[in-house]
A and B are shown apart, each in its own frame.
Chain A
Amino acid sequence: MPDPLISRLKRLIVEALKLEDVSPNDIPDNEPLIGAGLNLDSIDALELVVQLEKEFGIKISNSEESRTALASIEKLAAFIRQRADPARLPH
């Protein structure tokens, strides 16, 4: 059974960044989100961070932290689990 947080994050990326021709299932769990893989850039990263902060009530305080969090979907999920109120996570 797929991890509900990972599924939610993939949907959020497609929706927040209005990715055309990409479905949530196309996003691999272990590939970098910025640069390679989805080929997102720094502006995409910023939009994504803003959405993540809103949805999960977390704070990403600088661009290096954002880069760490966005290293891959799996890393992002782990980052959010560490910081978010469990009540805000999908079950």
Chain B
Amino acid sequence: MALVSPTPSVYLAAYGCLTAFGNASATYAALCNGERALTLQPALGNRGGDAVPLALCRGRALDETAPPNWLPYVQELVTTLPAGDWGSPRRPVFVTSSNFGVGSLYAYRQTRERVHLDYGTPSSCVDWLRRELGWGENVSTFSHACVSAHLGFLQATRALHAGLADEALVFSFDFLSPFVAGGFNALKILNSEFPAPYENRASGSIGLGDGAAYAVLTRERSELQITAQALHNEMHHFTANQADGAGFAACIQQIMPAVGGRRLWAKGHGTGTLEAGRLEVAALEQAFPAAPLVSWKGSLGHTLGSCGAVELAIAAECLKGEYIPGTVGSHAPGFSATVAFDPLPGRAFDGVVCTSNAFGGAHAALLLSHE
């Protein structure tokens, strides 16, 4: 089942992100320096648990509070948004997340304190956030695991090209909680090892990170454009990918006609798992054999539903900057010779393919390039 962008392009009028390193510029600089934000921390916060690689925003504790302790971080990020009446009829907001305030729901289950319920579901969480951030009523919520942000980009693009908006704000967030870290720890893919995306090693593992980001999309010309977007859902299994990687390829192929003569690099999903990593690398290598491939989740951790937006903001920094950070935390040999472990010279390229992949064979890709 595939969805193709109904129009060839949309412009990136503004962007920003927040990770454990700070804003987009600080994150870009830290990645260029090869720094790893992930540190080993108890998966269950103050309740202990296995030490696992987590990258929390500076000064934030993993444990749940009411209201959630990540609100000030979101508020700080939002101060960098272009001023305006976000959430008004012509300036819609598309909020995306994978977990929203699910940690609050778990906190309620643990404590029976009803105050946590105000943030625990996607609708209650987004409604609370909308009020706290002063946005109007024109706020839509989308979620599809780790391709959530891409879903927001595509919906915003459609609204713009349908004439339903002058500008659209895609806002994505996923802050970790004991519930989320503990859940991934139970799945055995979050363990005591640091992730090494695309590295050919004996066992795979991921790290998790806090992440929030925004992208303001418009039809007005701007320095950077999202030239093409694609979503593809395999509908094969409720957690697993098709074993032959056909779903990865089917998604990427949709954006290939928009590439033209651009010299590309690829920012992959690259969480650090082996099976999905190999499928992803093979599909990208087949589609773009000359494009070096990087992942930043070995440093930032997987920021889950926000990863597409967080990494879009960093990719935008790369297109403006001198270097492209390599695959921090990984070492040769990789799954393919296309995997770039060290920083790349930014001026050698004029576009980037950004991909994200999610549980259940959901895939997303976009092409970000200079106008």
Which A residues have a C-beta under 8 Å from some C-beta of B? 41-43, 46, 49-50, 60-66
B203 touching A65, Cβ below 8 Å: yes
Query: Which residue of chain B lies nearest to A59 when distances are taken between CB atoms in the complex?
Result: B50
Assembled-state Cα–Cα distance A63/B273 (Å): 9
Assess whether B78 is interfacial by the CB under 8 Å rule: no
Provide 24 A-B residue pairs closer than 8 Å at the C-beta atoms, listed in order of the A residue. A41-B239, A41-B240, A42-B239, A42-B240, A43-B239, A46-B187, A46-B188, A49-B188, A61-B191, A61-B192, A62-B193, A62-B204, A62-B205, A63-B187, A63-B188, A63-B189, A63-B203, A63-B204, A63-B273, A64-B202, A64-B203, A64-B204, A65-B203, A66-B188
Assess whether B146 is interfacial by the CB under 8 Å rule: no
Contact code string B235-252 (vs A, CB < 8 Å = 1, else 0): 001111000000000000
**Interfacial chain A residues near B115, Cβ < 8 Å:** none
**Interfacial chain B residues near A64, Cβ < 8 Å:** 202-204, 274
Judged by DSSP, the binding face of A is helix
**Interfacial chain B residues near A42, Cβ < 8 Å:** 239-240
| Minimum Cβ distance to chain A for residue B273 (Å) | 8
**Interfacial chain A residues near B202, Cβ < 8 Å:** 64
Judged by DSSP, the binding face of B is loop
A62 touching B203, Cβ below 8 Å: yes
Assess whether B2 is interfacial by the CB under 8 Å rule: no
| Minimum Cβ distance to chain B for residue A11 (Å) | 23
The 10 tightest CB contacts between A and B, nearest first, are: A64-B203, A62-B203, A63-B188, A61-B191, A62-B191, A62-B188, A42-B239, A42-B240, A63-B189, A66-B188
B237 touching A41, Cβ below 8 Å: yes
**Interfacial chain A residues near B187, Cβ < 8 Å:** 46, 63
Assembled-state Cα–Cα distance A17/B193 (Å): 29
| Minimum Cβ distance to chain A for residue B43 (Å) | 13
| Minimum Cβ distance to chain B for residue A60 (Å) | 7
Assess whether B4 is interfacial by the CB under 8 Å rule: no
Query: Which residue of chain A lies nearest to B186 when distances are taken between CB atoms in the complex?
Result: A50
Contact code string B191-212 (vs A, CB < 8 Å = 1, else 0): 1110000000011110000000
